[in-house]
């Protein structure tokens, strides 16, 4: 039998566990997804709720402990990954690993997690967490179950012996306990993205910057750790808008942000400060570190042109053939000084930015 974390294509898209009776696995590189496999049992939302209802009449200390873990996780954070970790822990506690081995693995997954075909899957329930920690399975801000959407992005496991009824019941209870908190967490996360993210570029917005910057300054002051702020601006961006149109300018901004995000660390935060100006906040980073980052970003932005073609939002009188647009960026850097408030740190970085722009 094979086990795959999966999602049912029902109206609520409830998380589910699919248990395949047949060792014939869905195609990894194409073909049918896990939900299309024949002759399989799936613990769907209805079955999970029935199992949980039956559980309510019984004294089950283990289930009560797990409910408490979920409640504590929700108090700490509404991050779906925390809830998925509790889900993994629940399965790890109740489902024996004996005889379980990796049968198939996604090519995209292989380089980022320590699994190999034919190898014992002792920690198979930790797969979502492994992908999350690797930073390559999916962004933590993305939909928490995106990696489970189809078999091409999963690891599938094969077990020589069938799952017993008690094991299936444990899976059903785990799904039931997690389903509502996970759905609430995803809704909450989507709402936060709407409040704190710039809808065009995906960078955090100015409201988020004000909140995070104040918090990081407080941490730096209390812990004595370095903190640096970098302002980044596209040179002569107005001319691009005037020549090619605002839709083309939007495409440039989106690509600009992608290049920046490709050259920074996970813990660094990028904000759209306004227009074509962005702010990068780097905690635990001194002046030398932020200068190295600046050099890296300048190379990423300026070494290759930005490409626009045909229907990329060019103005009606712009050339229809693909065009290359060289972009230059200006940078302003400020390191936190004892006693700084957010406005003082921003002001120093802004002044350096405009000194560089005047030189250019």
Residue 200 lies in a domain: no
One domain, residues 161 and 60: yes
Residues of the chain with pLDDT > 90, as a percent, come to 29
Q: Show which of 156, 175, 195 is a domain's final residue.
A: 195
One domain, residues 112 and 167: yes
Q: What is the CATH number of the domain that holds 324?
A: 3.30.70.270
One domain, residues 62 and 132: yes
How many Å is the Cα radius of gyration of the chain? 25
Structure confidence at residue 113 (pLDDT) = 53
Structure confidence at residue 7 (pLDDT) = 34
Split into its structural domains, the chain has a count of: 2
pLDDT band for position 241 (cuts 50, 70, 90): confident
The total number of residues written for the chain in this structure: 360
Q: How far apart are the C-alpha atoms of 278 and 285, rounded to whole Å?
A: 18
Q: What is the mean pLDDT of residues 64-73?
A: 51
pLDDT in tens, 304-348: 888 887 555 555 455 566 788 899 999 999 999 999 999 999 999
Q: What is the mean pLDDT of residues 155-164?
A: 52
DSSP letters along 324-358, please?
EE---EEEEEEE--TT--HHHHHHHHHHHHHHHHH
Res 243 pLDDT > 60: yes
One domain, residues 129 and 214: no
Residue 201 lies in a domain: no
Is this model's pTM higher than 0.75 or not?
A: no
Residue 212 lies in a domain: yes
One domain, residues 176 and 245: no
Backbone angles phi, psi at 101, to 5 degrees: -145, 160
Q: What is the mean pLDDT of residues 142-146?
A: 28
Structure confidence at residue 304 (pLDDT) = 85
Q: What is the mean pLDDT of residues 153-165?
A: 51
Structure confidence at residue 324 (pLDDT) = 86
Q: How far apart are the C-alpha atoms of 89 and 66, rounded to whole Å?
A: 9
Instruction: Pick the more confident residue, 7 or 293.
Output: 293
Res 156 pLDDT > 90: no
One domain, residues 95 and 10: yes
3-state secondary structure of 282: strand
One domain, residues 32 and 159: yes
Q: Show which of 195, 223, 245 is a domain's final residue.
A: 195
pLDDT band for position 244 (cuts 50, 70, 90): confident
pLDDT in tens, 70-127: 555 444 445 555 555 555 555 555 555 555 555 555 555 555 555 565 655 444 445 4
Res 242 pLDDT > 60: yes
10 Å CB burial of residue 325 (0-12, 13-18, 19+) is middle
Residues of the chain with pLDDT > 70, as a percent, come to 44
One domain, residues 218 and 190: no
330 contacts 340 by C-beta, under 8 angstroms: no
Instruction: Pick the more confident residue, 208 or 97.
Output: 208
Q: Show which of 195, 224, 246 is a domain's final residue.
A: 195
Q: How far apart are the C-alpha atoms of 188 and 195, rounded to whole Å?
A: 11
Res 179 pLDDT > 70: no
One domain, residues 190 and 248: no
Res 256 pLDDT > 60: yes
One domain, residues 23 and 169: yes
Backbone angles phi, psi at 60, to 5 degrees: -130, 90
One domain, residues 179 and 87: yes
Q: For residue 215, what are the domain limits?
A: 206-359
């Amino acid at each position: 039998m094979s086990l795959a974390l999966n999602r049912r294509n029902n109206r609520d898209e409830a998380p589910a566990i699919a248990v395949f009776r047949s060792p014939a696995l869905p195609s990894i590189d194409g073909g049918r997804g896990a939900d299309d496999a024949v002759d399989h049992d799936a613990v769907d939302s209805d079955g999970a709720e029935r199992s949980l209802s039956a559980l309510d009449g019984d004294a089950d200390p283990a289930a009560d402990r797990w409910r408490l873990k979920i409640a504590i996780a929700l108090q700490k954070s509404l991050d779906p990954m925390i809830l998925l970790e509790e889900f993994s822990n629940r399965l790890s506690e109740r489902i024996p690993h004996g005889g379980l081995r990796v049968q198939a693995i996604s090519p995209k997954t292989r380089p980022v997690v320590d699994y190999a075909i034919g190898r014992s899957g002792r920690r198979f329930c930790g797969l979502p967490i492994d992908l999350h920690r690797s930073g390559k399975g999916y962004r933590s801000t993305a939909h928490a179950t995106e990696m489970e959407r189809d078999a091409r992005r999963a690891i599938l496991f094969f077990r020589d012996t069938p799952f017993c009824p008690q094991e299936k019941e444990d899976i059903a209870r785990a799904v039931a306990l997690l389903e509502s908190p996970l759905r609430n967490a995803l809704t909450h996360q989507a709402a936060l993205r709407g409040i704190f993210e710039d809808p065009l570029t995906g960078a955090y917005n100015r409201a988020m910057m004000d909140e995070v910057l104040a918090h990081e300054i407080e941490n730096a002051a209390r812990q004595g750790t370095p903190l640096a702020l970098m302002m980044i601006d596209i040179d002569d961006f107005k001319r691009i808008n005037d020549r090619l149109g605002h839709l083309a300018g939007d495409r440039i901004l989106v690509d600009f942000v992608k290049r920046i995000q490709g050259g920074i660390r996970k813990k660094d935060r990028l904000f759209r400060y306004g227009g074509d100006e962005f702010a990068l906040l780097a905690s635990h980073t001194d002046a030398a570190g932020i200068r190295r980052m600046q050099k890296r970003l300048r190379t990423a932005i300026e070494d290759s042109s930005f490409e626009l073609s045909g229907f990329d939002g060019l103005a009606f009188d712009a050339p229809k053939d693909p065009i290359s647009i060289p972009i230059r960026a200006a940078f302003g850097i400020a390191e936190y000084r004892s006693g700084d408030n957010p406005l003082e740190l921003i002001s120093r970085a802004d002044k350096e930015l405009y000194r560089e722009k005047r030189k250019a």
